[in-house]
Structure formats: structure tokens, C-alpha cells
Amino acid sequence: MKSVIKGTGYILVHTPDMVLHNGTTQTTERVVNPDGEYLKELPSHIRTFEQALNYYPNQVYIGNLTPEDLAAVPQPWHDKDCPVKDRCGKYGQIMPQEEFLLLMQACDVFELVELDREFVAKYKPQLAANPLMDETILARVNEGSDIAEITRFVNDEHSEGLYDHDVLVGCVKRAHDIDVNLSAHVMLENIASKASSVLALLAGVKNAGIDKADVEYVIDCAEEACGDMNQRGGGNFAKSAAEIAGLPNATGSDARGFCAAPAHAMIEAASLVASGAYKTVVVTAGGCTAKLGMNGKDHVKKGLPILEDMLGGFAIVVSQDDGVNPFINLSMLGRHTVGTGSAPQAVIGSLVCDPLDRAGLKITDIDKYSPEMQNPDITKPAGAGDVPLANYKMIAAMAVKRGEIDRAALAEFPVKHGLTGWAPTQGHIPSGVPAIGFARDAMLENKLGRIMIIGKGSLFLGRMTNLFDGVSFVIEKNAGKDDDSGVSEEQVKGMIAKAMKDFAATLMAQADAE
């Protein structure tokens, strides 16, 4: 049984105040350099919601433009007027902060998120008009509390403030008096991750055109951990998001592996479906508040807007072969092993060359590669270069070393086999998976044959191992449903003919021997 990509959801959330209050670059600066120029300058570099909509990479992420459209626009993109400024797109939507704060409250089931009563009254109708919201979720939005009470929680009870346009409009309370794993800071990060995952799940399930009751399993592949002091990463984001998204028949679990987690989770989902264990599995992830404004210092120094003001999320619905949707080829998996080594050459060899060698294919037999799809508009001013382009150059260099392309063709390889990066720098969010929506569409339109999705992760950040990590898989155009009903008459005839021929050969060999 093949497993296919039934549909995808991609969402962004504009969270300007969380850049200031929850991004670790800013919270660290507040500790080590509270009176520095950066914190003074920063507020004037924050984008409005309209500016976030009027941004090419964001419109690509939700499917209103394609990576090819983006490639045709000269960089930088932050100063360009985007021809599309819609908040809803083919794959999902860009949610404003006000709606998201209400969604966070709806996702909290322990009365930890409190919002100002007036704020709720003002923005609940806006959330109700959101095409992805339903009655069940709206019913979870309570009427709110007095702002005086919220202020007291922030000032005296270790709560984290929730702000909108720099005004306190709510808080996230700590979930335990002494357990740091349940502190207000951790709860805010986790509830934001959960809420953006819920939004992605709603978009993915809707776009796949399936019934919510069809989802049997959800895998969350974000980079947060939820638990308490006795089981710090106990879980389970997947099931808690499935509950709010209204998937009654789903259970699930969390897969972790830094930025490589989405690719790991996709292979797990495809295997679970291919084995028949579950009919429909959704891979999902919400965004990361800690990474907001991560490269803010460089952006401010260079006079740019803070471009890392978006939480990202995605959901990919994997289900049984329908003969139409592109399938995940489980016989062509790349994996970086314990013994691979961490040199980029070894990494690319294990993730790209090894699986192709096993399948008897060349690097050029893969039409498109989707490695780390970070938006270069964000990374280049921060001195990190164009990350997808660097990946394509490495793959091209391997093709030269293997004699599969001429050295002169190095420059054209990224154009032919690559995509221009558009995803926000939210760790797991840009890691290979943003291209799946576009690849699915292109394959359904017979414009693409094979794409390789590559996930890579920096495990050293967890201080458990210095090993690098990564896995890859190939999605292919579906040539039609596998015939599982047995063998055809033609195949039977062929098998009999071969058996007769072998038998005759054996008889002749025996006769010769005698």
C-alpha cells in the first residue's frame, strides 16, 4: 500500500508584540544590555499587519504566489510592493495577533490564559468571521477578565504579559508555583505552539477535503517540550491540538529532532499509513515564539524592518493510496547515521547520494530538491547567506564530483533543481516541508515528477550529542493505484514460461553432465 499526500495546510501568525516580549534575542538583551541602543531602536522597526501581508515570502507561504513567482522578483523583498495582499490563501492564512491571542485562550484548558474583557468583546466577532473557525472553538473563548486583575497577575504572580500594540491585554499564568517546566514563560511558548498547530490542522484537514473524523493519528514535530518536573518532555502536543481542532477519532504523539523533525515525522506518517496501521495520519507543527526577532540586531543595524515577526505552522495530511495524489516513496529514504560524520560532504552524501544510489538514480533524476527553505531576505542581512542556495550548491558540487554534471553546469543547477526560499526562520518550519504543497499541485498538473524533501537538524544544541542529524524522502507523481488484487493473466503466463525455460535448461545441463 502506498501512502499519499492528501492535502496540506500552511499558516502564519503576525505576532509583533511577541517579538518584543518573548523572542530570546530580545529577552537576552533585556538581561545583558537593558539600556542598549538595540532595545531603544527596535520598536520603530516593527511591521504592521498590513506590511506583513504586503510581503512576497509570506504570500508564497500561504500559497497565493509560487516559489517561481518569488524567484522572478529581485532581492531584497522587504521593500517591494507585493501584488497580492490577501490574508487568506490556497493553503491557509495569515492570522493577525488579536485573533491569535483569542485562539490561544481557546486552546488553554487550564484557565492559564486571561484576556482583558474589552479586548475579547472587540475582537471576538473578528475571530468568528475567520473561515477556519467553528462554533466549538468560538465557544471556548470566554468573556475575559478585568484588566486590573490581569495587571496584578503580571506584577505580583509571575505571569507573562500578553500585549497588543504595546498595551497589556492579557496574561499567561504559571501552572505551578515552583516547577520551572510549568512556569508562565514555558506555558506561553507551549500554548502559542499549540494554538498555531491547531490553526494549521484546521487548514490542512479542510484543504484535504476529508472528514475530521477520518484522522486517526497526529504527529507533532515542533521544537517545544511540554511536561512537568518529573517528565519534562512528557508530551503530548499532537493530541492536545487534535482535541481543539475537533478530530474526535485521533490519538497521536510528538516527534522531536530539532529542524529534522518534520522529515522524520513525514517518514513515520507515511510508514504508518503504508503498513495499514492507520488510514489517515496528519503531521503538524506550530510556531516558536522564542525565535521571533532572532536576527533582529542585524536587521535593525542595517535599517531593515524586523522580518522575523511571524509564527509559522503547517499540517500535512497523509492517507492511503487513491491513485491520484503524489506518493511518498519509502524505498528511497536517506538517513544521516551515527557513523556518517558531520562534514557537509558526508551529510549530503548520506541524505542525497546514498538513497539515489540504492535506487539506481542520478542526482539530476530528481526534478526538485527542498532542503532548508529559509527566506534569504531574513538570513542574508544576518550574515548567514542564502541557505537554500548554499544547499543547492553543495548538491551540485556532489553531482560534479560524481561526474553527473559538468563543472560548468554548477551555476545553473540551483535554477533547474532548486527553489527560492520563502519560509520564516522558525527552525522546523522551513525544513523541507514548505515545498510539499507546491509539489503536490505541480504533480497533480503533471508538471513535476519527483521532489526530494531534506530535513537537517543541529542536535548539539541540546548538549546530548555532537552528532548532526538528517533524513530525506522522495515524493513522486502517482501513476495510478497499485493493483493489490493479485497477479494478472499476462504475469501468470510469463511466470509459467520462465519456469518451463528454467526446467528445460536444468534438463539440458543434466544431459550435458551425463
Partner 1 sequence: MDLENQKRVKEFAEKYGPENVVVLLGAAEGEAAGLAAETVTNGDPTYAGPLTGVQLGLRVYHVCEPEIKAEFDPAVYEEQISMMEMVLDVDDIVSEMSSVRDQYCKFK
Q: Which one among 297, 336, 428, 456 touches partner 1, defined by CB under 8 A?
A: 297
Tell me: does residue 345 bind partner 1 (CB under 8 A). yes
Choose between 174 and 380: whose C-beta lies nearer to partner 1.
Answer: 380
Q: How far apart are CA 343 and CA 353, in angstroms?
A: 15
Q: How far is the CB of 70 from partner 1 (least distance, A)?
A: 22
Tell me: does residue 76 bind partner 1 (CB under 8 A). no
Q: Which three cell numbers stand for residue 303?
A: 535599517
Q: Which one among 2, 26, 29, 89 touches partner 1, defined by CB under 8 A?
A: 29
Tell me: does residue 465 bind partner 1 (CB under 8 A). no
User: Are residues 343 and 398 in contact, defined by beta-carbon separation less than 8 angstroms?
Assistant: no
Stretch that binds partner 1, among 30-38, 52-60, 109-117, 236-244 (CB under 8 A): 30-38
Q: Is the dihedral of CA 139, 126, 206, 221 positive or negative?
A: negative
Tell me: does residue 372 bind partner 1 (CB under 8 A). no
Site for partner 1 in 34-73 (CB under 8 A): 36
Q: Is the dihedral of CA 391, 475, 7, 72 positive or negative?
A: positive
Reduced to 3 states (helix: H, G, I; strand: E, B; else coil), residue 461 is: helix
Q: How far apart are CA 100 and CA 93, in angstroms?
A: 12
Tell me: does residue 341 bind partner 1 (CB under 8 A). yes
Choose between 84 and 390: whose C-beta lies nearer to partner 1.
Answer: 390
Choose between 384 and 467: whose C-beta lies nearer to partner 1.
Answer: 384
Could you please report the per-residue DSSP string of 190-233? HHHHHHHHHHHHHHHHHHHT--GGG--EEEE--S----BTTBTT
Alpha helices in 366-433 (DSSP H): 376-379, 387-401, 413-417
Tell me: does residue 28 bind partner 1 (CB under 8 A). yes
Q: Which one among 168, 330, 361, 400 touches partner 1, defined by CB under 8 A?
A: 400
Chain Cα centroid distance, residue 392: 20
Site for partner 1 in 435-464 (CB under 8 A): none
Tell me: does residue 354 bind partner 1 (CB under 8 A). no
- Helices 97-107 & 184-208, crossing angle to 10 degrees? 100
Q: Measure the N-to-C terminal CA separation of the chain; round to a whole number of Å.
A: 49
* Max Cα distance, the chain (Å): 104
Q: How far is the CB of 4 from partner 1 (least distance, A)?
A: 34
Tell me: does residue 32 bind partner 1 (CB under 8 A). yes
Choose between 125 and 463: whose C-beta lies nearer to partner 1.
Answer: 463
Tell me: does residue 202 bind partner 1 (CB under 8 A). no
Site for partner 1 in 409-428 (CB under 8 A): 410
What track of x and - describes contact with partner 1 for positions 300 through 339 (by CB under 8 A)?
Answer: ----------------------------------------
Q: How far is the CB of 28 from partner 1 (least distance, A)?
A: 7
Tell me: does residue 383 bind partner 1 (CB under 8 A). yes
Choose between 343 and 504: whose C-beta lies nearer to partner 1.
Answer: 343
Cell 542526482 appears where?
363
Q: Which one among 71, 84, 346, 444 touches partner 1, defined by CB under 8 A?
A: 346
Q: Which one among 122, 165, 232, 401 touches partner 1, defined by CB under 8 A?
A: 401
Q: Which three cell numbers stand for residue 369?
A: 530538491
Sheet holding 160-164, edge to edge: 113-115, 167-172, 160-164
- 432: alpha, beta or left, given left = phi > 0 and alpha = psi -120 to 50? left
C-alpha distances in angstroms, 126 versus 42, 167, 239, 331?
29, 19, 27, 47
Choose between 26 and 207: whose C-beta lies nearer to partner 1.
Answer: 26
User: How many residues line the site for partner 1 (CB under 8 A)?
Assistant: 23
Choose between 276 and 403: whose C-beta lies nearer to partner 1.
Answer: 403
Q: Which one among 80, 393, 444, 449 touches partner 1, defined by CB under 8 A?
A: 393
Q: Which three cell numbers stand for residue 165?
A: 500594540
User: Are residues 424 and 387 in contact, defined by beta-carbon separation less than 8 angstroms?
Assistant: no
Tell me: does residue 344 bind partner 1 (CB under 8 A). yes
Stretch that binds partner 1, among 106-114, 276-284, 305-313, 391-399 (CB under 8 A): 391-399
**Omega within 30 of 0 (cis) for the link into 76:** yes
Q: Is the dihedral of CA 324, 326, 327, 332 positive or negative?
A: positive
Amino acid at 154: V
Choose between 170 and 427: whose C-beta lies nearer to partner 1.
Answer: 427
- Helices 97-107 & 237-245, crossing angle to 10 degrees? 110
Chain Cα centroid distance, residue 179: 30
Choose between 235 and 341: whose C-beta lies nearer to partner 1.
Answer: 341
Choose between 247 and 366: whose C-beta lies nearer to partner 1.
Answer: 366
Choose between 179 and 404: whose C-beta lies nearer to partner 1.
Answer: 404
Q: How far is the CB of 369 from partner 1 (least distance, A)?
A: 15
Q: How far apart are CA 365 and CA 382, in angstroms?
A: 34
> Would you say how long the chain is, in residues?
514
Tell me: does residue 397 bind partner 1 (CB under 8 A). yes
User: Which residues of this protein are in contact with partner 1, per CB under 8 A?
Assistant: 28-29, 32-33, 36, 297, 341, 343-346, 348, 383-385, 390, 393-394, 397-398, 400-401, 410
